[in-house]
Structure 1
Amino acid sequence: MKNSRYNVLFVIFTLLITVPFILSGCNRKTASKPFERTEILMGTPVTITVYNEKDAQVFDKAFARVRDIENKMSINLDRSEVIDINNASGKSYVKVSPDTFEVIKKGKYYSELSGGRFDITIGPLVKLWGIGTEAARVPAPEEIKAVLPLINYRNIMLNENDKSIMLKERGMAIDLGGIAKGYTADEIKKILIDNGVKHAIINLGGNILVIGGKPDGSPYKIGLQDPFYKTRGEQVGILTLSGKTVVTSGVYERYFEKDGKKYHHILDHITGYPVDNNLMSVSIITDVSADADALSTSVFSMGLEEGMKFVKSLKGVDAIFITKDHKVYTTEGADKVFQLTNPEFKLQK
């Protein structure tokens, strides 16, 4: 079994971020020296990079916040607020923290906005497939048929007054894997800015958020992963970003192989099987990482034509689509910040 555990964007720190400071003639004082820390949290490497020595003290605060969110929203721990909600499905409301309430409320909003293409009640189907775990398998058709009626974001009951949540039907389960990392990146950003950080990169397993630009005033350069890669680090092109976030969903982020066929983790709540269209990946560029996180899954599930139309209807959102025939499609805003560097791909105009 082959399992790719992490998301598809990577930051090319050495070649594209650190080196330009040297080549541009900026002085190499502490002010432009990057400080970086990585911890494994939320099932993925979380890397925070800041550019001032005095800012290094905020790492403890930032990573404590990540652990706090993970403890509230993970379904892979012995206990969390989301697990409590799932265990009480069909029975009672569960009072939760403002964090969990906000993320589930936003998740329900994007579930509705996407017409259910993104649905945070997909938990029973996710558990059935087990993709990304050692228990990954192809469920029997009757198993899939049994859990599909449980997937319905409309049956998430929200009580704003006391911040409590209930799942209407017994057996329902929320899975925030498609939005929690984005929310966490936004929360890290708040902490860094509150502590005076003006230049930083936040990377949650490929969910990238950048604060400002580099200290010399130029944008960060972010490599966009080749979805057909043989070696991680091969790229399709380069994004130049300042004060933005970019999140990618693709068929190669997490998958397993059975009888020569690959099964990826983006599941279709209608068929119960992995989404099957002509896309390899979709990257969403916007200002809020939680939005980009939810939208990347939504848009990927829609496919190229419907997804492109959907993105164009949203203010301040851009996208890059990569198809199975090595073609790259961009919205107008994405075209301005993306440079194709891999000759195996063809940019469509």
Structure 2
Amino acid sequence: MRKSVNKTHIFLIAFLILTILPLYGCGLKKQQDPISKTEYMLGTICTITVYDDKSEDVIDKAFARVKQIENKMSVNKTGTELDAVADAAGKNYVKVSDDTFYVLKKGKYYSEQSGGAFDITVGPLVKLWGIGTDNARLPGQNEIDNKKSLINYRDLLLDEKNKKVMLKRKGMSLDLGGIAKGYAADEAARILKENGVKHAIINLGGNILTLNSNPDGDPWKIGIQDPFQTRGNVLASIEVTNKTVVTSGIYERYFKKDGKIYHHILNPFTGYPMDNNLASVTLITDVSINADAMTKNIFYMGIDKGINYVKKVPNLQAIFITKDKKVYITSGLKNNFKIVDSSYKLMN
């Protein structure tokens, strides 16, 4: 069943992070009504919209692939491959699927690249804080120090020949929340392409991936969520074609204690949420899994070091939004980025 969509301004609200705004020009050729489905997966609301003449079956196939990945890697489910690895920590290797091994290998690579600012062995600390769950709380310093001592990506051992993994020390655990959604978006895109889809938007809770251009041949217009307003309020727009747009922000998941906000982007070195002047970082690139992992490291770096890092990575652009409503963008975005909220100021 096709959903009714305004062809001039099609709004697909990205849960928590981004708002997608594909634009169609009036008077252009008549376009196929898009088909769209939404599911709750990977701990967030996920929407896939296809703008070609296809049945809903093609979206179902993409969601089935996302579900496979969720069942193997989600921290929100029990009995996953990650649980098996944690249960065997300090004892023995565990055979995992090709999917999980690939994501773990990528995760360890980006953990090394970041020097541990992004670390996929952060599981014990994430569970301790419980941010985004009903068990969120401010832990004591002794608790934090204890869990922090269990975080070290170097202690994740990978046996590539046999697709086996092991955590060296008892009590260690993995958390792929900072990378698995990116992989799922890439895989959903692959399934759509293999089924003949040419124009689509995949939105996995803020991990956005666009297939080609919109049906008119123009770039997709994506609105960047205002981190200080309710969902759907945007501060800027950016035009992209065949790109992924991934955001990490302090407003995604958090709780308040004694008037202080504790957000979910944890600093493995301090054991507390990262504390700088950034409200969000958005990356635009070609592969979603890469952007997903890099956002946390770049958020940790802050604006100056973050921009320098982005400059060294091919086909990577970034948007930095500060807590005092300043916006910094990398040079490759100057011609397709526009602020739409006058309370924000573009700084470069």
Residue 26 of structure 2 corresponds to residue 27 of structure 1: no
CA distance in 2, matches of 1:189, 1:24: 30
Tell me the distance in 2 between the aligned counterparts of 1:299 and 1:6.
Answer: 22
The Cα shift of 1:306 comes to 1.4
2:19 matched to 1:10? yes
Could you say which residue in structure 2 is the equivalent of 1:289? 288
Deviations 1:79-101 (A, max 9, x none): 00011111111111000000000
Larger helix proportion of the pair: 1
Distance 2:219 2:269 in 1: 41
Amino acid at match of 2:30: N
Structure 1 residue 6: Cα displacement: 4.8
| Partner residue, 2:332 | 333
Conserved? CA contact 1:268–1:275, under 8 Å: yes
Q: Is the 8 A contact 1:90 1:168 kept in 2?
A: yes
Q: Output one character per residue of 1:183-223: Cα deviation in whole Å (capped at 9) or x when no partner.
A: 00000000000010000000001110000001110011111
Contact 1:6–1:253 at 8 Å: present in 2 too?
no
CA deviations on 1:222-251 (whole Å, 9 max, x unpaired) are 11001111x211111101111000100011
Deviating more after overlay: 75-84 vs 129-138 = 75-84
The residue aligned with 2:184 is: 184
Does residue 37 of structure 2 align to residue 37 of structure 1? yes
Q: Distance in 1 between matches of 2:338 and 2:302?
A: 23
CA contact (8 A) 2:28 2:216 kept: no
Superposed displacement of residue 336, structure 1: 2.9
- Find the residue that maps to 1:339 and give its secondary structure: strand
Q: CA offset at residue 309 of structure 1? A: 1.2
**2:173 equivalent to 1:170:** no
Q: CA deviation at 1:335?
A: 2.4
Q: Is the 8 A contact 2:182 2:288 kept in 1?
A: yes
CA contact (8 A) 2:15 2:231 kept: no
Is this contact kept in 1: 2:16–2:231, CA < 8 A?
no
Distance in 1, Cα, partners of 2:137 & 2:123: 16
Name the CA distance, whole Å, in 1 between partners of 2:95 and 2:196: 34
Partner of 2:263: 264
Contact 1:255-1:264 within 8 A present in 2 as well: yes
> Residue type matched to 1:179 in 2?
I
Who is 1:246 aligned against? 245
Instruction: Give the letter aligned to residue 344 of structure 1.
Output: S
* Alpha-carbon distance in structure 2 between the residues aligned to 1:337 and 1:45: 27
The answer (yes or no) to whether the contact 1:129–1:138 under 8 Å persists in 2 is yes
Distance in 1 between residues matched to 2:78 and 2:179, nearest whole Å = 21
In 2, Cα distance between the equivalents of 1:274 and 1:226?
A: 20
Aligned twin of 1:301: 300
2:343 aligns to what SS in structure 1? coil
CA drift of 1:324 comes to 1.4
1:65 aligns to 2:65 (yes or no): yes
Aligned residues: 335
User: C-alpha offsets along residues 109-157 of structure 1, whole Å, 9 cap, x if unaligned?
Assistant: 0011111111000000000000000000000000001111111101110
Q: How does 1:42-191 map to 2 (within 5 A)?
A: 42-191=42-191
Question: What residue number does 1:319 align with?
Answer: 318
Partner SS state of residue 328, structure 1? strand
User: Following the alignment from structure 1 to structure 2, what is the Cα–Cα distance between the partners of residues 307 and 7?
Assistant: 23
Report what 2:9 is aligned to: none
Q: Which residue of 1 aligns with 2:6?
A: none
- Displacement of 1:57: 2.2
Give TM-score scaled by structure 1 length.
0.94
Q: Assess if the C-alpha contact under 8 Å between 1:247 and 1:284 holds in 2.
A: yes
Q: Deviations over 1:6-36 (max 9, x none)?
A: 5411213xxx43xx25x142214xxx31110
* Cα distance between partner residues in 2 of 1:146 and 1:283: 32
C-alpha change, 1:6 and 1:298, in structure 2 (3 Å) is farther
Query: Unpaired segments of 5 or more residues in structure 1?
Result: none
1:55 Cα deviation from its structure 2 partner: 4.7
* Paired amino acid for 1:11: I
Q: Secondary structure of the residue that 2:119 maps to in structure 1?
A: coil
Measure, in 1, the Cα distance between the counterparts of 2:252 and 2:335. 26
For residues 129 and 53 of structure 1, the distance between their equivalents in structure 2, rounded to whole angstroms, comes to 46
Do 2:283 and 2:291's aligned partners in 1 also have CA atoms closer than 8 Å?
A: yes
Percent same amino acid at aligned positions? 56
Superposed structure 1 runs of 4+ greater than 6 Å apart = none
